[in-house]
Amino acid sequence: MKLIAMSRRERKKLQVRGAQATGSEGQQSWGHPHPLPSPLRGGGIRVRGRLGFTLLELMISISMLVIIIVIISGAMRLASRSIADGERKIEALERLRTSFSIINAQIQSGMPLMYSDQGGLSLQGTQGPQQGVQQGAKPGVQGAQGTQQGAQQSTPQQGPQQGVQGTQGVLGTQKSYFKGDGKSLQLSTNYSIWGGQKGYVLVTYRVDTDRSGKRALYASEHIIGIEASRETKLLEGFDDIGFEYFEKGLVVGEPGTWVQQWTNDTATPSKIRLYLLSGSKERRMVLPIRASAQTAAGG
């Protein structure tokens, strides 16, 4: 009843006094060197600022950084492997092209040289007996004497036969330097791998297995009459390497055949085929022997 009976002026005075009291309390709390946090509903504490990261945030950031580094390093490793593989393929193709060029030049420059049991050297042809007479003077004289004796002591038919036998004694057994089978090839040529060598060289190709189990083709050569030889690797990394030889028909018009073993000691094939197998890829290169066998030269 007392409050109700207050006049308006008295109620305003009370409100002013309450406001002044509240302001003085706020000034005292803010002036304190360590002000106390204001209470919130539910007993919580109001945080006015953050000074760092939590442990969870640090772990997430580090994990993301590690993942990015792993991705970048993997991409760089893949790129380096691709570059290395590309360089190896380019090198293999260049080696294959160079080796094909060398083999082609040596086979197409092959010369059909013959050798005899008495050490003579000649080309395949019709002038071999004349070379034999030049190479072996004494046996040639014996052959001529045999011809004269046959003409004097025997019938006219027996004398020339004895003379021919004397000429054959000069030449001995004529054999070709050319030898070949499925995994090796030997021929005489005037093209040297290393160059700078005068005279005919005897080249030998052989197929061998390397440490990785792949087939490799080696080439060795030496000058005829000199035993010192040099060897190099031409091809490698193939599943199979082989040679085949074209044998003409015995009758004119009869088709020839490809054989893996050359058995003719007095002749050379007209063509040689090189067989290469790598996985599912198969290469066959036919190389003709262009040298003519109708002229002769002394050795």
DSSP lists the bridge partners of residue 238 as 215
Give residues with Cβ within 8 angstroms of 130, minimum separation 6: 296
CA 132 to CA 299: how far, in whole Å?
Answer: 10
Q: State in Å, rounded, how far the first CA of the chain is from the last one.
A: 155
Do 107 and 187 form a contact (C-beta atoms < 8 A)?
yes
Percent of the chain at pLDDT above 90? 31
Concatenating the DSSP letter of every residue in 252-272 gives TTPPPEEESSB--SS---SEE
Residue 68 is predicted with a pLDDT of: 96
Strands laid side by side in the 121-123 sheet: 121-123, 113-115, 175-176
Residue 182: which of 272, 286, 282 has the closest Cα? Answer: 272
Neighbours of 69 (CB within 10 A): 10
Q: Is the pTM of this model over 0.75?
A: no
Q: Is the pLDDT reported for residue 234 higher than 50? A: yes
3-state secondary structure of 247: strand
What would the two tokens of residue 145 be? 């004497």
* Average pLDDT rounded to a whole number, residues 128-151: 41
Length of the chain in residues, anyone? 299
Residue 266, pLDDT score: 83
Residue 185 pLDDT exceeds 90: yes
- Candidates 236, 234, 240, 233; CA nearest to 183 is 240
Question: From CA 160, how far away is CA 144, in angstroms rounded?
Answer: 10
| CB 114, CB 175: distance < 8 Å | yes
Average pLDDT over residues 133-149: 41
Residue 5 pLDDT greater than 70, yes or no: no
For the beta sheet containing 179-180, the strands, ordered from the edge strand earlier in sequence to the opposite edge, are 179-180, 184-189, 201-209, 215-223, 230-238
